[in-house]
Chains A and B, each alone.
Chain A
Amino acid sequence: MHLGDSLSAFLDGELDTGARSDAESHLASCPLCRSELEAVSESSRMLKSLPVAEPPAHLVAPSNVRHLRPRRGRILVGAAAAAALIVGVGFGVNADRAVPLQLDEVVEQHVARASVDPGFNVLQVQAVVDR
């Protein structure tokens, strides 16, 4: 029995603990389900990274233009991340020496240092790739 639509539920954190560990064991041994999981996670990732469309002003009060939906709030995080890539704003500890802080540089410097550690692993590299 393959996992089928449980794969999406697994990805979305919609499986209970028992079903989740069953899914993990199955995934670890079934290349078919792994590639299907890969396909749905790729689709999901692309939908989540669609840019946020700005509604006309009459639909949203101006003070709420930055509202983040509390539960998953994915849309706006993506927008924020995109904004961060386009303009890295920020200043050094010495306010007169204005050095922009960019999230990717911060993550890269962390991972560079972490890679000296014998505990370094690929998950750390993922942090940079998927900043």
Chain B
Amino acid sequence: MAVTTGTTLDARTLRADFPIFEQLIHDKPLAYLDSANSSQKPRQVIDAMSEFYETSYANVHRAVHVLGERATAGLEGAREKVRALLNAPDVREIVFVRNATEALNLVAYSWGGNNLGPGDAVVVTELEHHSNFVPWQYIAKRQGADFVMVPLDENNELDLSGLDQIARDFNVKVVATNLVSNALGTIHDLGPLTRWAHEQGAIFVCDAAQAAPHMRVDVQALDCDFLAISGHKMCGPSGIGALWGRASLLQAMEPFLLGGHMINSVRYEKTTWGELPHKFEAGTSPIVEAYGLGCAVDYIEAAGLDAIEAHEHELVAYALGRLSEIPGITLYGPPADRRAGVVSFNLADIHPHDVAQILDRQGVAIRAGHHCCQPLMHKLGVAATNRASFYLYTLPEEIDQLADGLYTVRKVFA
């Protein structure tokens, strides 16, 4: 595998692992600056998944034959890799789901559905992705609980000054927040919020969808109770993600989806649930996707998560420098050393859709829209922003291509 180890990363070499870059887009080299939306996939993952289909595929856990055994080993091996990635104490605490959204829904329904009631509150932040906002808003309302927001200050940082008041007004049961913001790239220091949550006797739910691809995420160091990730953002396939939860909490919870595989015994009068993690994995799993996620974990571990994080800080610093030269630009978010590879901006009053379309013509792929963060957009007073985002294969030339493209956008809309 063409990867480096240690704290530096050779993005140019890594990039050669990604077949998507072997094509031209509108006759231009591809500047893929939309990795926070979904990352591209290295050949190592693509090939491993094909080979798995060709040599080892069968359903898991119930077949006695050799292919069933191989497939089960592939799936369970991936579970162990995800456990190690997150430094989870026990592999049974890793539940495979479709994506971070499903992981968060699982916690909201299964934990929230049994533990929330009138007088209780769920606390989220104004900077949440809709995936960590809407399920909580919905379940709180359904259970008659309150839904409370930690606001952002004028620098769009979490404003924790109101926590005491929240503690006086509500019986806080859940605190849910992201570790890295997909809209601004902010890497939060969650320590104070986690400690506060636990002082209230609340569970702390961490949305690490945007953190796990870009930095080391350690569930024990974070001291969270649940944590959600998505495979497709970290070099893995779509259709697979993981929930980590404390075994004691998972054990006490009701299942989320019901059906095959998640049972212990089924009788006319009564069904009993299977052991962890199977209790939460009803139906046939995304077997090959899970295997692919395991391969992706191998890939990013070999590149080095510290090296990936350092690489992205460098790219963000470079991008902030290049973009700030462009007349009419507004940049959002914290300084480079406190953000993952995300740069959100607006160009004069040109709508992000128009910006993104003209950039696309120049081979530059960015995201334009509200980034599933409408509460934040509301706060910023804009309908949408442009977002360029980076990953381990991103090169400074791509940022140059973006900057050049933005000058062209200005000309078209002059």
A and B assemble together: no
B residues near A (Cβ < 8 Å) are none
A residues near B (Cβ < 8 Å) are none
